[in-house]
Amino acid sequence: MEKRAAVKNRRRGLGLNALFWRYLITSGSLAATLCVLWLVLFNILVNMGFVMSAYTAVRGLTETERLLQEQTIFDPEAIPHFYEWALVENGEITDSNMNQKQLEYARRELSGYSAPHGWFYSQYFHLVPLQNGQTVMLEYDYSVCYADPVLNDILPDFQTVYIGLLLALLLTLIGLCTGHYTRILRKDTQTIADACEMVRSRSLDMPLDGQARVKELQAALATIETLRGELSHSLKEQWTAEQRKNEALAALTHDLKTPLTVIGGNADLLAEDDLTQQQKELVLAILRNTGHAEDYVKRLREVTAGALFPSNREKIPARELLSAFIQQGHDLSVQKGQAFAVDRSVTVFSAETVEIEKNEVLRAMENLLSNAFRFTPPGGTVLLGVELQSGRVGFWIQDSGPGFSPEALAKAGKTFYTEDGSRPQGGHMGMGLYFASQIAQKHGGCLSLENTSTGGKACLWLKLKREIG
């Protein structure tokens, strides 16, 4: 027996939580390793003398101050390149290599206001009095710079480059790590999508091929596999039942041919006898309805054989269709022993054209007429009339029965609905009206129900081939 539990060769996978934490730990570990390696590289560059540490300016203040104080005449060449300087005389800056912003903060420092020190600006100032009475203001910060002054002039700021490259490598590393785990999830979801597509396309004979690394997704895949197996089993049972039903219907339709042939043959023999006019009408009604039944049996046999019915619509005058309805009414009237009449509205009925499947519409009207005769009490009359509207024609049937209940009117055309489920013959609603409603909708119309002063009224609306002018 086919296993329903899981996909073949399943292996224990990771849960979503475990996968998430593995991603965090992996990406965090790689990022930390990269930062350590980056710090080692920085120390190597410092030891090689390629760059200077961030504390170089602070550590060199004492030596630079000593060199400046030994000078009798200020020489800016004695100031290391990692300092900016300004020459102060009588509280005013007379010479400097600072930029405009640095000079602004230098003047604030001289005025007694502390220069800002923060995340975006971390400049510091140190005053060195000279022998000639002048003062040199040194500006510095805690940044890394190139050891060679020439490199400081021609290359971008080392600290910016260093941090920028580190961030770029970190983002690349995290991107690669994210991509790896994304591919795991994408592969698993694609496996599930393929499994769903197999089920959707009803490719159910083969077990699902594939497995997911994530436990939750593997569980979903296993559920789909179970559903596949159950659906496959259900469809096989359904197909078997359908085959049995078709075989039973085929046998039934085959058996119906014999009694219909007997009825038709006997009716033909009766027609040859010397009959009264009423008897002849009865025999003709038997022959017509036997022919209809034989057509229905033929279509039923074709349905059970799997035949598809293409649309077989034909354009016929609505008056011709009305004549067929009148004939149906007369046949049922003779059979039921009840009165059948045609409303005066048919006299104004012009030769409009309808495009219909004639046999279906005739069956729909037959159902409506049969329903009306069934609920018309003895001595009552079934009336057939015509109503014209723009673009459509309505063939209505009015009986002398009790009419439709509010519930029946609300549920017009519902399958197998009756006003009393325990007595399916006790109301107007049923399969006949449902079938008529479906045929009307198929032809661009509808079935309408209403109550009149004399009983119930059903109208079969059909779309005309052209507008009424």
C-alpha gyration radius of the chain: 50
The predicted-structure confidence for 91-102, as pLDDT tens digits, reads as follows 898 999 988 888
Residue 210 scores a pLDDT above 90: no
Q: What is the mean pLDDT of residues 239-248?
A: 74
| Stronger pLDDT, 408 or 105, i.e. the higher one | 105
Work out the mean pLDDT of the chain and round it to a whole number. 78
Q: Which CATH number fits domain 54-143: 2.30.230, 2.40.10, 3.30.310, 3.30.450?
A: 3.30.450
pLDDT band at 254 (very low <50, low <70, confident <90, very high): low
Query: How far is residue 214's CA from residue 222's CA, in Å, rounded to a whole number?
Result: 12
Residue 2 scores a pLDDT above 50: no
Each domain of the chain, given as residue ranges in start order, spans 54-143, 312-463
Highest mean pLDDT out of 3-7, 389-393, 394-398 = 394-398
pLDDT band at 171 (very low <50, low <70, confident <90, very high): very high
- Please state, for a pLDDT cut of 70, what percent of the chain lies above it: 76
pLDDT band at 416 (very low <50, low <70, confident <90, very high): very low
- Do strands 135-140 and 145-146 pair parallel, antiparallel, or not at all (unpaired)? unpaired
The predicted-structure confidence for 37-47, as pLDDT tens digits, reads as follows 999 998 998 88
Confidence at residue 424, expressed as pLDDT on a 0 to 100 scale = 39
Q: What is the mean pLDDT of residues 429-453?
A: 81
CA dihedral 163, 167, 172, 173 (to 10 degrees): 90
Confidence at residue 323, expressed as pLDDT on a 0 to 100 scale = 87
Tokens of 452: 């009149």
Beta bridge partners of 315: 355
Confidence at residue 147, expressed as pLDDT on a 0 to 100 scale = 84
**SS3 labels along the chain:** CCCCCCCCCCCCCECHHHHHHHHHHHHHHHHHHHHHHHHHHHHHHHHCCCEECCCHHHHCHHHHHHHHHHCCCCCHHHCCCCCEEEEEECCEEEEECCCHHHHHHHHHHHCCCCCCECCCCECEEEEEECCCCCEEEEEECCCCEECCHHHHHHCCCHHHHHHHHHHHHHHHHHHHHHHHHHHHHHHHHHHHHHHHHHHHCCCCCCCCCCCCCEHHHHHHHHHHHHHHHHHHHHHHHHHHHHHHHHHHHHHHHHHHHHHHHHHHHHHHHHHCCCCCHHHHHHHHHHHHHHHHHHHHHHHHHHHHCCCCCCCCCEEEEHHHHHHHHHHHHHHHHHHHCCEEEECHHHHHCCCCEEEECHHHHHHHHHHHHHHHHHHCCCCCEEEEEEEEECCEEEEEEECCCCCCCHHHHHCCCCCCCCCCCCCCCCCCCCHHHHHHHHHHHHCCCEEEEEECCCCEEEEEEEEECCCCC
Q: Are 88 and 137 in contact (CB under 8 A)?
A: yes
Chain-centre distance for alpha carbon 169: 40
Query: How far is residue 57's CA from residue 152's CA, in Å, rounded to a whole number?
Result: 15
* Residue 466, burial from CB neighbour count under 10 angstroms (0-12, 13-18, 19+): exposed
Q: Which residues contact 367 (CB under 8 A, 6 or more apart)?
A: 432, 433, 435, 436
Query: How far is residue 356's CA from residue 325's CA, in Å, rounded to a whole number?
Result: 14
Fold for the domain defined by 312-463: Heat Shock Protein 90 (3.30.565)
Counting every residue written for the chain, the total comes to 469
Residue 254 main-chain phi, psi, to 5 deg: -65, -40
Q: Which pTM value belongs to this model?
A: 0.46
Highest mean pLDDT out of 109-118, 119-128, 388-397, 425-434 = 388-397
Q: Are 313 and 356 in contact (CB under 8 A)?
A: yes
